[in-house]
Amino acid sequence: MYTNLGSRTDCAGSGRPLLAPGAGCPTIHGGILGFISVFLILAATTLAADCPDSATVKGVSYPVTERWCGKKLDTTLLAKPEQLAQLPDTLTYEDYRIYVLKETRDAFVRMADSARQSGVHLIADSGFRSPRFQERIIARRMAEGESFERVIRFVAPPGFSEHHTGRALDLVPSEARFVHTATYKWLTENAADFGFVESIPEDSTGKSYWESWHWYYTGDSD
């Protein structure tokens, strides 16, 4: 019931990578930005040789890339169906039914009310996703011809996503331009007051992509 309602199937929710079209093929026009994009792609798809972590898709175990090594969630952190609560329709994208932990829901409602007083509207388009649903996302894309390593450039392997905890929310627009919005500015200044943190920040090492739209409820407020 709660595995996929209102959850987009990739990090940007559009089926396309966050990097600009053609960024993986540096040309004379792409210059240094093209080479930086290639570096990010290579870093994100390099298999972690000494990493014991793996993910299973349709009964097959795959080693994870450096981006995900050491980030597998302890099973005690996974949300249980009876712990979940639905976000109000007024705080979700279109007709999505989005579930998170009850305490996450309550904190998000308080934060959205506060943001609204400043003219900022917080809208979520993804919340809880089960490991099984995450596996189905990856299996479908692999069936379409993508390799496991390519898919997990932009989609967390099953067992590795913060969305499994019921504490993570993706906010609209869930793509790279979110960082330039008034919503992002307001969150950086106020989210900590409600216990939310930007848990996938900008990473200069190139091992992970900046997901400025992804916010995680820690339960610790300032």
First to last CA, the chain: 34
44-48, 75-79, 154-158 — most confident range: 75-79
Residue 182 within any structural domain of the chain: yes
215 φ, ψ (degrees, to nearest 5): -125, 140
Q: What is the mean pLDDT of residues 200-208?
A: 66
Residue 7 within any structural domain of the chain: no
| Domain total in the chain | 1
DSSP 137-178: HHHHHHHTT--HHHHTTTSPPTT--GGGGT-EEEESS-SGGG
Percentage of the residues of the chain whose pLDDT score is greater than 90: 67
**3-class state of residue 114 by DSSP:** helix
Is 121 a residue whose pLDDT tops 50? Answer: yes
More confident residue, 106 or 21: 106
More confident residue, 180 or 67: 180
User: pLDDT tens for residues 43-62?
Assistant: 444 555 578 999 999 999 99
> Among residues 126, 128, 127, 124, which one has the least CA distance to residue 183?
124
Residue 34 within any structural domain of the chain: no
Is 78 a residue whose pLDDT tops 90? Answer: yes
> Among residues 43, 86, 84, which one has the least CA distance to residue 65?
43
- The pLDDT of residue 182 is 97
Q: Give the whole-angstrom CA distance, residue 97 versus residue 125.
A: 9
- The pLDDT of residue 201 is 86
Residue 20 within any structural domain of the chain: no
Alpha helices in 118-152 (DSSP H): 131-143, 148-151
Q: How confident is the model at residue 123 (pLDDT cuts 50, 70, 90)?
A: very high
User: pLDDT tens for residues 163-187?
Assistant: 999 999 999 999 999 999 999 999 9
Is 144 a residue whose pLDDT tops 90? Answer: yes
Residue 24 within any structural domain of the chain: no
22-54 per-residue burial string, b: 16 or more CB within 10 A, e: under 16: ebeebeeebeeebeebbebbebbeeebeebebe
Residue 56 within any structural domain of the chain: yes
> Among residues 134, 108, 126, which one has the least CA distance to residue 174?
126
Domain harbouring 210, CATH code? 3.30.1380.10
The domain in which residue 128 lies consists of 46-217
**3-class state of residue 36 by DSSP:** helix
More confident residue, 117 or 30: 117
Q: Give the whole-angstrom CA distance, residue 222 versus residue 220.
A: 7
**Which of 99-103, 184-188, 216-220 bottoms out in mean pLDDT, i.e. has the lowest?**
216-220
Residue 195 within any structural domain of the chain: yes
Q: Give the whole-angstrom CA distance, residue 35 versus residue 76.
A: 41
- The pLDDT of residue 37 is 40
Residue 68 within any structural domain of the chain: yes
